[in-house]
Amino acid sequence: MNDHTVNDPSPVNDASPAIDLSPPGEVPELDNVNFSPSQLANIAGHVRGILTELGLDLNDPNLAETDRRVAKMYAEMFSGIKCGTRPKVTTFPNDEGYKAMVIEMQIPFYSMCAHHLVPFHGHAHIAYIPNDRILGLSKFARILEFYAKRPQLQERLTEQVVGFLEKELSPQGAMVVIEARHLCVEMRGVKKSGAVTVTSAIRGSFYKKEVREEFLDLTRRR
């Protein structure tokens, strides 16, 4: 697997306006970061316009609240846009002098494809070899969740997670592998159900073949 350099044409990026309501050192929970009422109303209005253009009867009881439900869903699925430019997590001194690999495997995530605004979902395997700082185990999932909750590309998501580890921990090395299924592949276009996309990003000592193979071997054993 090779490292990826992503040139992302999407207008949504880490420079998005930030509203951070979280306590210091924590990533905001989904329920704590909301779009304003006027933003939700505007989104709902656009959804009603789409439903109308599709020729649907908005008086149908099943569609009567669909515009509002979609607006609330988007506020949740795209909450990463409102969370600031980087996850806020606490790192700790590596007092034990641990110098072997730390891996968190099979971390589930859901995101939305930036190209078609349909979901993609899967699992991430995240590893690093510490230097002076270590990361609490629950923070792996928080970092992944932070970057997943916005219009995304799998390649970019992979790079963002490994880049965060590299900057915040200055580890000996880090590696992220993401395996995901994309509904833009399965339910439209080529319609290849069950296809899995795998991306990887590598930093530091993981460029060494023996280190990379140890990581991949451990993830296969799951």
**195 shares a domain with 158:** yes
What is the per-residue pLDDT for 220? Answer: 87
Whether the per-residue pLDDT at 214 is higher than 70: the answer is yes
Residue 209 counted as domain residue:
yes
Does the model's pTM come out above 0.75? yes
CATH code, 183 = 3.30.1130.10
| Structure confidence by residue, pLDDT tens digits, 106-152 | 999 999 999 999 999 999 999 999 999 999 999 999 999 999 999 99
Dihedral sign for Cα atoms in the order 79, 82, 86, 88: negative
Domain ranges, residue 49: 34-81
User: How many domains in the chain?
Assistant: 2
Kindly tell me if the per-residue pLDDT of 40 is higher than 60.
yes
For the cut 60, the answer to whether the pLDDT of residue 17 exceeds it is no
Per residue in 184-197, pLDDT (tens digit) is 999 988 889 999 99
Is residue 134 located within the same domain as residue 183?
yes
- 218: pLDDT strictly greater than 80: yes
Work out the end-to-end distance of the chain between its first and last CA atoms, rounded to an integer number of angstroms.
19
Mean pLDDT throughout 41-45?
96
**Contact present, 174 and 164 (Cβ < 8 Å):** no
- Rounded percentage of the chain residues whose pLDDT exceeds 90: 75
**pLDDT classification of 34: cutoffs 50, 70, 90:** low
How far from 198 is each of 2, 122, 180, 217, CA to CA, in Å? Answer: 11, 10, 7, 16
- More confident of the two residues 183 and 86: 183
SS3 97: coil
Average pLDDT (170-198) is 95
CATH of the domain at 61: 1.10.286.10
40 shares its domain with 69: yes
Q: Are residues 75 and 97 in the same domain?
A: no
The 8-class DSSP code of residue 58 comes to: T
> 75 and 95 share a domain?
no
How far is 39 from 45, CA to CA, in rounded Å?
A: 10
Is it the case that residue 62 has pLDDT exceeding 70?
Answer: yes
Report the chain's mean pLDDT, rounded to a whole number: 86
Cα–Cα dist 16/21, whole Å: 16
CA 211 to chain CA mean position, Å: 25
- Whether residue 27 is contained in a domain is answered as no
Confidence of residue 222 (pLDDT cuts 50, 70, 90): low
Give per-residue pLDDT as tens, 72-82: 999 999 988 87
Q: Are residues 106 and 201 in the same domain?
A: yes
